[in-house]
């Protein structure tokens, strides 16, 4: 049975960023009566998830998918296309998760799919060098200011744990600084005051992490340069580097100040420490040259993932040649991977970055995402809800509190119970948002003005009900 919800039509043929023109969001709407929510049928999703809980820990292969923080069972997907996802109960949703970021040109993009189908006939994994690695590497090096040499891996976690080892190998020091609420994958050193699913599930620092490992991880407050300086002063000559999300997406959408990023650059240079931007989420999403191009601050090392795989498993880390030449076989720091640089991921990444390099792509993402977040926040305020939020290009987020939110500690003031109600109401309206207050949202080149209009209208109805 299909749910009666939003059914926005996408523009066929040309891409939205060449075919669409802006529309304005109308002013406040007077609501005299609150309509009953559409009925959401999820019988098949419930059956599949029930079985999954006997087969997989918690019924999922990544914790946030379990919907623990928003209630109800997770939606089980059947297929995706463009800006939409379809579940096993034949419900259609406008999707603002986008596989947690990779689907920046839209799900199952025709051009990306065509390139992948052609590659399948040539082989899916070689375990040997292929020219596609060179092609994608040159595209990354050409676009990202800090990257002179790059190593491909198979996930963002693998990229971050590898860059951590590299920072230590290059400096000969052991301690690192990360920021409370920032998430850099599930390597032991990063599960100290981490973000993402760790926050969503309300978990303490993860069991299984040795005390000696945790002791080498120092935590500072995001957007607070003094907290970083204090750690350097207390651990003189012991800190290998600083790693951070240049725009936080794993404790909600939190934007840094330019002064904070510049200050980190100056402190790391003065202390002989390595500055690493974790751009697994922001890379190629908020600007062609990543967050470092957007803010004009160049780190020493950068981790990447999501977008550069075009929807396939991939990660990468890169930086100055003098640092990257520490990596085996060029240098003594060992790191390897069976599927690293596999031709399928390289093919999808090449085509995705090619599409993003076309004129108007990032301008379109900025315009349509700003319309979306401005419309959602206006709808919330029309119905008396406290809300704060924003966007940079195709990445956005909001918190149910007065704000501003400049660090994880501020984010804790958000009304997570209200978010859970809003999330459910939006599902009923045919809109799929990340199932956690502490995750960013994503748009794509496949999202149209009609999708945004439908989402804002759905938000108005949802805010009226909650």
Query: Which residues belong to the active site?
Result: 183, 278, 306
Going by their DSSP bridges, the two strands 301-305 and 315-319 should be labelled as antiparallel
| Residue 319 neighbours by CB under 8 Å, 6+ apart | 146, 147, 148, 149, 276, 299, 300, 301, 302
**CA dist., res. 387 & res. 413, Å (int):** 11
Tell me the two tokens of residue 403.
Answer: 């704000």
Residue 347 burial class via C-beta count within 10 angstroms: exposed 0-12, middle 13-18, buried 19 and up: buried
Rounded (10°) angle between helices 449-465 and 361-382: 20
Beta bridge partners of 241: 176, 274
**CA dist., res. 324 & res. 310, Å (int):** 24
Rounded to 5°, the CA angle 104-108-112 comes to 80
Q: Give the single-character DSSP code of 34.
A: P
Cis peptide before 411 (omega within 30 of 0): no
Distances (CA, A) of 231 to 179, 217, 234, 410, 412: 12, 11, 5, 21, 23
Listed residue (141, 154, 197, 171) closest to 353, CA to CA: 141
Tell me the two tokens of residue 196.
Answer: 């993402």
Q: Are 157 and 186 in contact (CB under 8 A)?
A: yes
Listed residue (463, 380, 430, 437) closest to 41, CA to CA: 430
**CA dist., res. 283 & res. 69, Å (int):** 27
**CA dist., res. 397 & res. 383, Å (int):** 19
Q: How is the chain split among helix, strand and coil, in percent rounded to 5?
A: 40, 15, 45
Backbone angles phi, psi at 370, to 5 degrees: -65, -40
**CA dist., res. 106 & res. 165, Å (int):** 34
**CA dist., res. 447 & res. 9, Å (int):** 10
Q: Are 76 and 311 in contact (CB under 8 A)?
A: no
Place of tokens 């959408």: 253
**CA dist., res. 319 & res. 301, Å (int):** 4
Q: What SS3 class is residue 463?
A: helix
């Amino acid at each position: 049975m299909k749910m009666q919800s939003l059914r926005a039509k996408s523009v066929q043929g040309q891409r939205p960023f060449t075919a669409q023109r802006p529309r304005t969001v109308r002013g406040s709407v007077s609501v005299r009566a609150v309509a009953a929510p559409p009925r959401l049928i999820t019988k098949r999703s419930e059956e599949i998830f029930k079985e999954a809980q006997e087969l997989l820990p918690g019924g999922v292969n990544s914790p946030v998918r379990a919907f623990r923080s928003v209630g109800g069972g997770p939606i089980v997907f059947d297929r995706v296309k463009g800006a939409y996802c379809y579940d096993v109960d034949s419900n259609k949703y406008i999707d603002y998760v986008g596989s947690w970021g990779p689907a920046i040109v839209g799900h199952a993009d025709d051009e990306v799919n065509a390139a992948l189908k052609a590659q399948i006939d040539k082989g899916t994994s070689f375990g040997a060098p292929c020219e596609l690695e060179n092609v994608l590497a040159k595209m990354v090096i050409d676009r990202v200011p800090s990257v002179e040499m790059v190593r491909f891996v198979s996930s963002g976690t693998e990229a971050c744990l590898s860059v951590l080892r590299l920072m230590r190998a290059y400096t000969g020091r052991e301690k690192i600084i990360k920021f409370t609420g920032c998430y850099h994958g599930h390597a032991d050193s990063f599960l100290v005051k981490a973000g993402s699913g760790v926050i969503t599930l309300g978990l303490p620092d993860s069991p299984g992490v040795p005390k000696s490992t945790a002791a080498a991880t120092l935590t500072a407050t995001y957007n607070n340069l003094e907290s970083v300086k204090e750690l350097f002063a207390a651990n003189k000559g012991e800190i290998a580097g600083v790693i951070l999300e240049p725009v936080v997406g794993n404790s909600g959408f939190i934007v840094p100040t330019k002064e904070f990023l510049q200050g980190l650059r100056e402190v790391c240079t003065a202390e002989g420490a390595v500055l690493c931007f974790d751009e697994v989420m922001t890379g190629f999403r908020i600007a062609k040259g990543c967050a470092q191009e957007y803010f004009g601050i160049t780190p020493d090392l950068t981790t990447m993932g999501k977008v550069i795989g075009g929807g396939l498993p991939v990660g990468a880390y890169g930086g100055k040649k003098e640092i990257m030449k520490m990596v085996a076989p060029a240098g003594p720091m060992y790191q390897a991977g069976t599927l690293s640089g596999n031709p399928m991921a390289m093919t999808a990444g090449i085509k995705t970055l090619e599409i993003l390099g076309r004129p108007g792509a990032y301008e379109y993402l900025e315009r349509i995402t700003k319309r979306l977040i401005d419309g959602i926040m206006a709808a919330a305020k029309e119905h008396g809800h406290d809300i704060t939020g924003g966007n940079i290009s195709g990445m956005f987020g909001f918190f149910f509190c007065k704000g501003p939110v400049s660090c994880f500690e501020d984010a804790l003031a958000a009304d997570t119970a209200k978010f859970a109600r809003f999330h459910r109401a939006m599902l009923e309206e045919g809109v799929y948002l990340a199932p956690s207050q502490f995750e960013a949202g994503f748009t794509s080149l496949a999202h149209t003005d009609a999708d945004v209009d439908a989402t804002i209208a759905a938000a108005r109805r949802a805010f009226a009900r909650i």
